[in-house]
Structure 1
Amino acid sequence: MTTAIYWFRNDLRLKDNPSLMQACMAADQLLPVYVHLPNLEQETPWGFQRMGQHRKIFLDQSLQELRSELRDFGSDLVEVPGDVLDVFEKLRAQIDADVIYCEQIQAPEELEQVALLRNAGFKINPVWQSSMLDSQSLPFQMQEMPDVFTQFRQQIEKNKFRFAYPVDHLKSIPPLPAIDISSTQSLGRNTISTGGKFQGGEQSAHTHIQQYFERRLPDTYKQTRNQLIGMDYSSKFSPWLAQGCCSARTIAKQLSEYEICCGENEGTYWLWFELLWRDYFRFLHFKYGKKLYSPKGLSKHLGNEFDSEHFFKWSSGNTGESLIDAGMRELKKTGYLSNRMRQIVASYWIYDMKGDWQAGAAWFESQLIDYDVYSNQGNWLYIAGKGTDPRGGRPFNVAKQTLDHDPDEVYRKMWLT
């Protein structure tokens, strides 16, 4: 009898989960596991907790829903706090299983976790599954992918690549091995709301996606995507994509079906375009790896030095620049911020306050419920001029941005009064 472990990482779903499906086909008994890493509870070098309250709550909601779905299949979810190696060595001792299936995450910290397990004798079966496109079907080798997004996009479009097709739904999950489930725990931190906007979990994700398309919001996506207030100006798929409560392939397939039914337009193209940006930041990790996480990034120069006093003013929304302060207060209160405001406040921190871009990236990691390791790093590198962008940085004129996006002070009054 084959017993295996399924390690949920950033793929908290049962639908379109190729790695989980592979595990279900290969094992007679399967133990689904989620590991709560202690380093996420620790302070960053800049003096704040790595994982803030809003992220914890959204994660907890997502795990609760995942557990419920697994129980519907006669399975369950084991949640264990601890370092990855220690957790899996203890589980191996209990159920005599050294085979682990999981999602592949191509970021340094996550790759190191897999390497530690392999060195300890575990047989790891990682599957790449977080992108819209199939990484094995791209029109170039990953190490030779174009650095500039426009060139990347042009090659994708020239070859008429749109998305990889989602896998079939699970029909069954192997039974649990003999283990005491009662000793496992959920986070139990669901004590405040995430700004009233988002509820974690796979069912919540698919409800939101379905309603988004039913209301024909893709049609206006390009015109509204830079607005600052409300749920409808952008897709709001990102929190569920970040935790893997839904897959980019599933959204792209639904978008394609929508275009067949309702017609293609600028809005539907730009929605796909943004999903492609998300893929681009992922694939860059195959090419550059750890270089993306150094203070220099891919540039030849270090960033600004860290100033704790300036950082407190920026992160707490007390810079004296009203648009920046409104954005930073929204982020701290809700765990969310529009894409336009993310760019504006990041630029202000780097270029106006001469702040350390890595501290800014870490603050977003702590606060955002839709924190995604690839997109967060990629976007901060892009703004700071430490990535592949040939323009060498993206400073924003705050006065112009204020005039363009909050001329009547509606957004600023919402968060500053």
Structure 2
Amino acid sequence: MTTAIYWFRNDLRLEDNPSFLQACKAADSLLPVYMHQPNLEQETAWGFPRIGEYRQVFLDQSLQDLRSQLRKLGSDLYEVAGDVLDVFEKLKSQIDIGTIYCEQIQAPEELEQVALLRGAGFRINALWQSSMLDAQSLPFPLEDMPDIFTQFRQQVEKKKLKFFNPIEAPKSIPPLPTIQIPPITVANQSTLSNGSKFCGGERSADAYIEHYFERRLPDTYKQTRNELIGMDYSSKFSPWLAQGCCSAGSIAKKLSDYEICYGANDGAYWLWFELLWRDYFRFLHFKYGKRLYYSKGLSKAPSNQFDSEKFLKWSSGHTGESLIDAGMRELKNTGYLSNRMRQIVASYWIYDMQGDWQAGSAWFECQLIDYDVYSNQGNWLYIAGKGTDPRGGRPFNVAKQTQDHDPDGVYRQMWLA
């Protein structure tokens, strides 16, 4: 009798989840687990938690949706809270765990968790599955991938790589083992309301993505992606992608089908192009690992010192620069910010206010509903000149950005009124 655990991490879905399907095929009984880690709610060195209200609500909604789907297949989701090793040791005392299956996350903290479990004698089967492209099919070893995105893209396109074919959800799930796990408090979805336009869960993701393609919004993606107001200017897939409520491969497959039906165009290509950027930031972790999390990043230059008074002005939207203040207030009040505004406010913090880029990155981790460890780190390194960009940083001219993206002041009026 083989008893396995499936440890859900940033893959809160049943469709296109190869690791979960693998666990279902291999085990006689299977315990699906999600672990809440208390360290995310503890204060960082900068005085705020790592997970804020909006992402927490979205996560709770996503877990409720996942639990509902598991129950329909005769299984369940066991939510537990605590240190990773302690939790699995307690589970091991109640059931004979054969293997712990999970997705592979190539960020330092998540890799350390798996290494800790293996060091304690647990058998871990971690499968890489969060990229659009199949890592094994790339035209180069990940450890030797091109540093420059353009070179990375050109090699991918030369080999005509588009996406990793998604797989279906399992038709059945092995029965649950008999176990007594102390329950933790799970939020009631009817009380989860914080004004966000996003609702967590795989079924919400599917409905939103279907609607996006039905309305033929890929056609206008390139023209509208740098706008600041509204739901339709960009895809808004990122909250569901970040929690793994949908996969990048499944979106890319829908995009390919869309092009077959309606014809290829610049908008559809740019949507794929942005998903490729997402992959690029992921794959860089295989090459550089912990170095991406150093204060100096991949550079030799020291970072700016942290100034708490300046940080408070920036993070609360009280810098005196109207576009920056509007952006930071939108972030604080919605948990979301357009990609263009993310770059502008990050640049302002680093270059105009001489702020510590890691503090800015941590603030985004706390505030963003769509926080993704790879993309957040990659984008902040890119702006700060601490990553692979040979130009060494991306300072933005705020006056020009204001004229280009909010010439009539509508965005500023919306958030500064």
Residue 194 of structure 1 and its aligned partner are, at CA, apart by: 4.5
Contact 2:196–2:335 (CA<8 Å) still a contact in 1? no
Match of 1:236 in 2: 236
Q: In 2, Cα distance between the equivalents of 1:290 and 1:194?
A: 35
Residue 196 of structure 1 and its aligned partner are, at CA, apart by: 3.3
Provide Cα deviations, 1:199-252, integer angstroms capped at 9, x if missing partner: 000000000000000000000000000000000000000000000000000000
Two-structure CA RMSD over aligned residues (Å): 1.1
Report matched runs for 1:239-318 at 5 Å: 239-318=239-318
Q: 1:398 to 1:380 in 2, by over 3 A?
A: same
Q: 1:288 to 1:9 in 2, by over 3 A?
A: same
SS of 2:333 mapped into structure 1:
helix
SS of 1:349 mapped into structure 2:
helix
Q: In 1, Cα distance between the equivalents of 2:99 and 2:328?
A: 44
Provide Cα deviations, 1:103-155, integer angstroms capped at 9, x if missing partner: 00000000000000001110000000000000011000111100000000000
Residue 186 of structure 1 and its aligned partner are, at CA, apart by: 2.1
Q: In 2, Cα distance between the equivalents of 1:36 and 1:51?
A: 11
Match of 2:138 in 1: 138
Q: In 1, Cα distance between the equivalents of 2:411 and 2:305?
A: 31
Q: 1:191 to 1:323 in 2, by over 3 A?
A: farther
Residue 168 of structure 1 and its aligned partner are, at CA, apart by: 2.5
Report matched runs for 1:17-32 at 5 Å: 17-32=17-32
Moved more, 165-174 or 55-64: 165-174
Contact 2:61–2:189 (CA<8 Å) still a contact in 1? no
Match of 2:335 in 1: 335
SS of 1:183 mapped into structure 2:
coil
Q: In 1, Cα distance between the equivalents of 2:342 and 2:193?
A: 21
Match of 2:43 in 1: 43
Q: In 1, Cα distance between the equivalents of 2:48 and 2:170?
A: 40
What amino acid does structure 2 have at the position aligned with 1:82?
Answer: G
Match of 1:168 in 2: 168
Moved more, 257-266 or 175-184: 175-184
Q: In 1, Cα distance between the equivalents of 2:373 and 2:185?
A: 25
Residue 98 of structure 1 and its aligned partner are, at CA, apart by: 4.3
Residue 292 of structure 1 and its aligned partner are, at CA, apart by: 0.1
Contact 1:60–1:190 (CA<8 Å) still a contact in 2? no
Match of 1:152 in 2: 152
Q: In 2, Cα distance between the equivalents of 1:186 and 1:269?
A: 41
Q: In 1, Cα distance between the equivalents of 2:382 and 2:191?
A: 35
Match of 2:222 in 1: 222
Residue 301 of structure 1 and its aligned partner are, at CA, apart by: 1.1
Report matched runs for 1:36-75 at 5 Å: 36-75=36-75
SS of 1:407 mapped into structure 2:
coil
Q: In 2, Cα distance between the equivalents of 1:190 and 1:82?
A: 26
Contact 1:195–1:335 (CA<8 Å) still a contact in 2? no
Provide Cα deviations, 1:160-198, integer angstroms capped at 9, x if missing partner: 000010113211010100023672442458745343310
SS of 2:133 mapped into structure 1:
coil
Match of 2:99 in 1: 99
Structure 2 length-normalised TM: 0.98
Match of 2:348 in 1: 348
Q: In 2, Cα distance between the equivalents of 1:193 and 1:343?
A: 28
Q: 1:303 to 1:187 in 2, by over 3 A?
A: farther
Q: 1:240 to 1:330 in 2, by over 3 A?
A: same
What amino acid does structure 2 have at the position aligned with 1:96?
Answer: D
SS of 2:176 mapped into structure 1:
coil
Aligned residues: 417
Match of 1:15 in 2: 15
Contact 1:142–1:286 (CA<8 Å) still a contact in 2? yes
Task: Return 5+ residue gaps in structure 1 as ranges.
Answer: none
Residue 333 of structure 1 and its aligned partner are, at CA, apart by: 0.5
Contact 1:55–1:368 (CA<8 Å) still a contact in 2? yes
Q: 1:197 to 1:370 in 2, by over 3 A?
A: same
Q: In 2, Cα distance between the equivalents of 1:102 and 1:89?
A: 17
Report matched runs for 1:359-370 at 5 Å: 359-370=359-370
Contact 2:382–2:393 (CA<8 Å) still a contact in 1? yes
What amino acid does structure 2 have at the position aligned with 1:39?
Answer: N
Residue 99 of structure 1 and its aligned partner are, at CA, apart by: 1.3
Match of 2:124 in 1: 124
What amino acid does structure 2 have at the position aligned with 1:381?
Answer: L
Q: In 2, Cα distance between the equivalents of 1:189 and 1:52?
A: 17
Match of 2:324 in 1: 324
Q: 1:98 to 1:28 in 2, by over 3 A?
A: closer
Q: In 2, Cα distance between the equivalents of 1:199 and 1:6?
A: 24
Provide Cα deviations, 1:296-330, integer angstroms capped at 9, x if missing partner: 00000111000000000000000000000000000
Q: In 1, Cα distance between the equivalents of 2:414 and 2:87?
A: 45
Contact 1:80–1:185 (CA<8 Å) still a contact in 2? no
Q: In 1, Cα distance between the equivalents of 2:308 and 2:410?
A: 31
Contact 1:92–1:98 (CA<8 Å) still a contact in 2? no
